[in-house]
Amino acid sequence: MNRNGTTSELISIGIFDDTADGQLTLYSSMCDSVSLFIASKTVLLISNPGWRIEKLARLTLSGNSRIDIDPDMGDARRLRALAQKLTKKEHVNPPFPIADSLVDDFKTAAIRALYTLADVDDVARSLSNKRSKETIAGYLSVIVTELNIVTTFRRNMLMSNECCGIPIFANNIEIKCKQCGRMVKLRINPRIVSGLHSSRKSSRSIPDAFQLGALLDETGQISSGKLILSDAAWSQLLGRTSEQLLHTPIDVLRYLEERVLFLRITMGFALNLEDEIGRLAIWCVRS
């Protein structure tokens, strides 16, 4: 019911970006546009909305508000790519995407640039705006703020992989797939590391299991799932191979977990954006 006693149609639609979820309320003739919206595909650029914060951010439109539908801009393309990615089932332990020959080139590069997480975010956005397929490589100095080795070990989930579209977890190097019967080689479960932090802004352009927690530096943080570590990088971080890790006593695993927690480490990384979204491929770790 409006203040003048008339009634208007109201429609509330769920919205989100790469930082939070919200709800947008449309009314009267604006509701006609909703039939054209496609979930996880339509991007709205909302200028000067009315808003209030409850458990959820609630946006409304006024006479000073404007909505642009599917604007042709870099941020809109990245957000659409993220939304499309969230609708797909992700691999629980994706393979390391960088070829060994490229890793060798990174190791012997004449220029070895040290980035912050905010620098990586800026560079990734720049590459996305140019629609560039260039691979950037450098180093990050970050602090590990969460590491869950013991819990993952006790849950029999220290190693992981997929076969026949089904996630596989075990405390073994190899295990037989129950669907096809072939032996599947497992890698260290990436969820042992939960995140990385920095104080300027989060690495939002850089699109979450061994639960390595948040990683941070002075400019921002990067959450679990934004990194893909090579087998060599895992060995350097934990000081042992995956085979040795599986045979490590539980009290030593607890000591290892405490030792790495809040440790400042340097990571060699490479980033290549695919469909506007990418993950940091970590090819080395130094303490």
**Residue for token pair 């797939």:** 177
- DSSP letters along 24-41, please? EEEEGGGGGGGGG--TTT
Phi, psi of 6 (to 5 degrees): -90, 170
Q: Are 174 and 153 in contact (CB under 8 A)?
A: no
Q: Give the pLDDT confidence score for residue 74 in this predicted structure.
A: 80
Tokens at 268, concatenated:
């060699």
Could you give the domains of the chain?
A: 10-71 (no CATH), 100-286 (2.40.50.140)
Q: Pick the residue with more confidence: 102 or 132?
A: 102
What are the start-end ranges of the E strands in 94-170?
A: 114-115, 136-144, 147-148, 159-163, 166-170
Phi, then psi, of 100 in degrees rounded to 5: -60, -35
CA 151 to chain centre: 22
Which residue has 């950037």 as its token pair?
A: 136
Whether 217 contacts 195, CB under 8 Å: no
pLDDT tens, position by position, 192-216? 765 444 433 333 333 333 445 578 8
Contacting residues for 86 by C-beta, under 8 A, at least 6 apart: 40
DSSP label of 96: P
Closest CA to 161 of 179, 152, 145, 173: 173
- Please give the C-alpha separations between residue 70 and each of 44, 78, 193, in angstroms, as whole numbers: 6, 12, 36
* Model confidence pLDDT, tens digit, residues 120-153: 988 888 887 787 778 889 999 999 888 888 988 9
CA 5 to chain centre: 49
172 in Cβ contact with 201 (< 8 Å)? no
- Name the most confidently modeled range: 21-35, 71-85, 129-143, 256-270: 256-270
Burial 189-224 (b: 16+ CB within 10 A, else e): bbbbbbbbbbeeebbbbbbebbbbbbbbbebbbbbb
**Confidence bin at 225 (pLDDT 50/70/90):** low
Q: How many contiguous H segments (helices) and E segments (strands) does the chain have?
A: 7, 20
| Structure confidence by residue, pLDDT tens digits, 23-70 | 898 887 778 888 888 888 899 998 988 888 877 888 888 888 888 889
- The structure tokens listed for 6 are 């008339």
Residue 81 has pLDDT above 70, yes or no: yes
Residue 98: what are its φ and ψ, rounded to 5°?
-100, 130
